[in-house]
Structure 1
Amino acid sequence: MSKAVTAEDLAKYQQDLEKTPASAAIQKAVMNNGVLKSAENTASQTTMTQTFSIDLSTGKVADQKQSGRCWMFAALNTMRHSIQKQFKIKDFELSQNYTFFWDKFEKSNYFYENVIKTADQDIDSRKVAWLMANPQGDGGQWDMLTALIDKYGIVPKSVMPETYSSSKSNEMNSVLNLKLRKDAVTLRKLVKDKASDADIESAKDKMLSEDYRILAYTLGVPPTKFDFEYRDDDKNYHIDRDLTPKAFFAKYVGWDTDSYQSLINGPTADKPFNHLYTVEMLGNVVGGREVRHFNVTSEEMKRLAIKQLEAGETVWFGSDVGKSSDSKLGIMDPKLYDKNALFNTSFDMTKAERLDYGESLMTHAMVLTGVDIVDGKPTKWKVENSWGEKAGQNGYFVASDEWFSEFVYQVVVNKKYLSADEQATIKAEYDHPTVLKPWDPMGALASK
């Protein structure tokens, strides 16, 4: 039975407020300064210093500006770190615009394929509604970036630099999503009218040609061959002629992308640890690499990340960056704001509860470049962000180990650091992972 709030209830709530210790003073503080400033715990700032027992040199941070390409920047940063170290090229960057172009184009095709697959469902079905809510966006995950690299390779930033729309993507996204939704109307009607496969494919081909033109106008045309010209840190001149993007990746990065595994920490009842998962309708390249997440405990995730850092390689990771963090200070720590004390109540939830009830999910990807280990255990982590040098300390953040436990949901490490049992499970389940629903929080795209 439902019960309305009565005048007597309101009078009681007001009395409870007045009985709360220092209520009037707290009210003034929050009204004048806001919640976070009033709840700020300065003690957290004294412990979250930029000093680490393992600290990899990575140079100047990149800046994704007003776009949601954090996942792309973070992944390309791990690769450019390798190039900087091997070829002695300080502050070198890979072209985020190049991968952005192909991601947008492939996502368009991926959207069309899903529209066709779900065309027999009502427009208000949950899957169709989810699909139409955001036909494509800037966000992504590690496997989506490697799917692009496997197909298209990468290029230096000098070969395909930033444009207005790559750095400030809202206008382009608005136009492209309008186009994709319009095309969805056409595709669903063709399926409903029992058009032939050839007619549907012909219509889709025309749509993709138009999408390519939109992206060419906004982002530029991706190069197919180029010369890589640079001067190294010792002032020696180099030029490498007639490279293709795939040849550039093979020569200057040289990674076997199959060697890297996405690990997630999703401690919810529907995701037993030590099993492989994928997410329905999550991806970008049709026929390319599919998303594969291996679910592990937070402690195992940390252990494997440390192994890779100890070997001198940085680590891509995904987190809920907006929780318990201050971008100006460059600090991420659950103790940074004491909201419980401020409001005299409890906001505490477990990590699983936050996932199940929509309070948290992965929103942003960054790079682990260091860790402070005391008595054999990590206490804080060094983080390379992609928000430019004005955020944090010259673009670098520090995350407490407790923050890692609570708000890091994904890391990517080389499979060689996994145990034999973990590798065997991944191999055995790779072709038949547990399929999660499209709206599962582990399918969230890093896009901050």
Structure 2
Amino acid sequence: MSEISTSALDQWTQSFENDPISKLAGSVLQHGNVDELLINRSREIADSHVFNTKLEQEGAPVTAQKASGRCWLFASTNLLRLKLMSKYNLKEVQLSPTYLFFYDKLEKANYFLDQICQTYKEDVNSQLVQFFLTDPICDGGQFAMMTNIVDKYGLVPNSLYPESHSSSSSHVLNRLLLTKLREYAQVLREKLAAGESVEEDKKKMVAEIYRLQSIFLGLPPSPDAEFTWEFYDKDGKFQSVTSTPKKFVKEVVEFDTPEYISLLNDPRNEYNRVIKIDRLGNVVGREPVSYLNVEIDRLADAVVTRIKNNKAVFFGTDTPKFMDSSRGVMDIDLWDYKLIGYDHRAVDKASRVIYHESLMTHAMLITAVHLDENGKPVRYRVENSWSKTKGNEGYYVMTHDYFKEYVYQIVCEKSEVQDLVHLLDTDPIVLPPYDPMGALAKM
């Protein structure tokens, strides 16, 4: 490989000096905020927060995950609360992300220790073991991981298990749990290598994780313990519901987890195939995270179908790529980089994933879509979980071009994609746990 020479530097400098466009760009951008100076005003005007096909009632209040990576839990509970709002005539309601957060972390700790035991014969420096050691107790997750927790532990209203400081700002708790789990990993690997039993050790380790989590988050309701939820409806009428977390899912929220399916758009892999992320999960004994990989138009069609059916859409995207939180816009062309000779569309979606330029990092809800005269989507209304102070009162407009390039997953019900359901029984394409399609679960 050739090195950079002084003559090359001189040549590049002279070329820059002779280019009035580059000099003008430098004069402007060296003295101001690039994110404001390159805003494409025509796109800013076109990205209207008006939609001709929307939910009859959106969720309220706008939620805030704060300094945590719980977007998938907020998107999920924001989705599930909509039926409650309609059923009980509510102006606003929240289901508890913290309740799911507690049990997800506990299950992740147990899952991690189980994987360490399964892989103890692998070299500790192998890519697989190092992947597990990187961040097994992170805040991230997937829709399927949420259903694993809901199936086992149920749901509760937010008032019964509200936010704590460490659920809103999870870094200290995560650091302490991670240190402890790595310590446990060494103990388990060394004992197993010596031919010793570790079952009792593992039980004590998970019990200690439970104790630490209870200190930071508070003791959670027991899945089978009865509770009473009291509230006022829109008309000021008092209402009361008595249930248990597990019964609350089926009898009150009416959430049938097996009916939901995750559609993926991963152009690196064959379409109309199941994609399974090996060893990526949170509950021992449950299947790893999997999706049905289809073309992007099928994802868009499923979104339109659900919105027309008055149902919101959980989706996974690469955020905050091309997102402006001050305007509440997600648009690839909102910044006119061509003005400085920069081509941000040079690489296709598959290549961006392969070369680490893009991956699924954030989960939100779609609550409306604007359709053209042919019934095709033009833009979408997105409910985020970054508080009402971000975006347009907590909401964003996402263009269809953005959807095609940076949305990877949507969740719908099997009845909405009946022609695809038979594909779930085919042999899956198995990807390693560190593949980009598992990234949302590692945020």
Whether the aligned pair in 2 keeps the contact of 1:317 and 1:410 (CA below 8 Å) is: yes
Q: Which deviates further from its counterpart, 360-369 or 215-224?
A: 215-224
* 1:446 positional shift: 5.7
Matched residues in 1 for 2:320 and 2:346: separation?
Answer: 16
Matching residue of 1:404: 403
| 1:332 aligns to 2:333 (yes or no) | no
How far apart in 2 are the matches of 1:110 and 1:340? 48
Mapped to 1, the partners of 2:91 and 2:11 lie a distance apart of 65
Superimposed CA distance per residue, residues 145-182 of structure 1 (whole angstroms, 9 cap, x where no aligned partner): 00000000000000001000000101110111011111
Where in structure 2 are the equivalents of 1:122-161 lying within 5 Å?
A: 122-161=123-162
Kept in 2, the 8 Å contact 1:146–1:289? The answer is no
Deviation at 1:347, TM superposition (A): 5.3
CA distance in 2 between partners of 1:413 and 1:135 (Å): 28
**1:211 deviation in Å?**
0.2
Deviates more, 1:217-226 or 1:206-215: 217-226
1:89 & 1:350 partners in 2: Cα distance? 44
**TM superposition shift of 1:20:** 2.3
Q: Which residue of 2 aligns with 1:121?
A: 122
Matched, 1:202 2:200: yes
**Distance in 2 of aligned mates of 1:63 and 1:346:** 31
- What is the aligned partner in structure 2 of residue 103 from structure 1? 104
Q: Tell me the residue number matched to 2:238.
A: 237
Confirm or deny that 1:294 pairs with 2:287. no
1:343 and 1:434 mapped to 2: Cα distance?
A: 40
Q: Distance in 2 between matches of 1:74 and 1:237?
A: 28
1:25 corresponds to? 24
Residues 115 and 370 (structure 1), Cα distance of their counterparts in 2 relative to 1, 3 Å cut: same
Equivalent residue, structure 2, for 1:213: 211
The one-letter amino acid paired with 2:247 is A
Separation in 1, partners of 2:18, 2:348: 30
> What is the TM-score when the length of structure 1 is the normalising length?
0.95
Give the distance between the partners of 2:127 and 2:287, measured in 1 at CA. Answer: 26
Superposed CA offset, 1:329-370 (max 9, x none): 110001111223324556521011101100000111000000
Q: Which amino acid aligns with 2:261?
A: Q
Deviation at 1:447?
7.2
Among candidates 358, 362, 365, match of residue 364 of structure 1: 362
Amino acid at match of 2:328: G
Residue 266 of structure 1: SS of its match in structure 2?
coil
Aligned mate of 1:442, from 430, 437, 442: 437
Q: Which whole-Å CA distance do the structure 1 matches of 2:326 and 2:100 have between them? A: 29
Shift of 1:191: 1.5
| Helix, strand or coil at the partner of 2:20 | coil
Residue 52 in structure 1 maps to residue 47 in structure 2:
no
Runs of 4+, deviation exceeding 6 Å: none
Secondary structure of 2:288 counterpart: coil
- Is the contact between residue 264 and residue 294 of structure 1 (CA under 8 Å) also seen in structure 2? yes
2:302 to 301, 304, 308: 304
Q: Please state if 1:78 is matched with 2:96.
A: no
Structure 2 residue 11 is the aligned partner of structure 1 residue 12: yes
Q: Which amino acid aligns with 1:182?
A: E
- Distance, in Å, in 2 between the alignment partners of 1:10 and 1:412 is 51
Residue 178 (str. 1) matches residue 176 (str. 2): no
C-alpha deviation, 1:32, in angstroms:
1.9
Partner SS for 1:122: coil
What is the aligned-residue identity percentage? 36
- In 2 relative to 1, CA 345–317 (structure 1 residues): closer, same or farther, beyond 3 Å? closer
What letter is aligned with 2:428? P
Q: How many residues align?
A: 437
Structure 1 gaps, min length 5: none
Gapped regions of structure 2 (runs ≥ 5): none
Query: Which residue in the other structure is 1:433 paired with?
Result: 428
RMSD: 1.4
Distance 1:55 1:425 in 2: 30
Residue 249 of structure 2 is matched in structure 1 by 249
Per-residue CA distance 1:217-246 (angstroms, 9 max, x = gap): 0111111221111111122212223x2101
Aligned mates of 1:289, 1:26 — CA distance in 2 = 53
**Paired residue for 2:265?**
265
- Partner SS state of residue 218, structure 1: helix
* Distance in 2 between residues matched to 1:323 and 1:446, nearest whole Å: 18
Deviation, structure 1 residue 36: 2.5
Q: Deviations over 1:82-112 (max 9, x none)?
A: 1111211221000111000001000001111
Q: Which amino acid aligns with 2:258?
A: D
Q: Does 1:389 align with 2:384?
A: no
Distance 1:352 1:110 in 2: 31
Match of 2:413 in 1: 414
CA-CA distance at 1:381 after TM superposition: 0.1
Q: Tell me, yes or no, if the aligned pair for 2:278 and 2:288 is still in contact at 8 Å.
A: no
Residues of 2 paired with 1:332 and 1:109: CA distance? 38
Shift of 1:33: 1.9
Q: Which whole-Å deviations, capped at 9, do the CAs of 1:226-267 have from their partners, x for residues lacking one?
A: 1111111122212223x2101111122112111000011000
- Do the aligned residues in 2 keep the contact of 1:318 with 1:446 (CA within 8 Å)? no
Aligned-residue offset at 1:7: 0.8
Distance 2:442 2:30 in 1: 31
Query: Partner of 1:250: helix, strand, or coil?
Result: helix
CA distance in 2, matches of 1:344, 1:101: 45
CA distance in 1, matches of 2:61, 2:344: 40
| d(CA) in 2 for partners of 1:379, 1:218 | 45
**What corresponds to 1:166 in structure 2?**
167
Contact preservation (8 Å) 2:279, 2:288: no
SS, match of residue 314 in structure 2: strand
CA contact (8 A) 1:365 1:446 kept: no
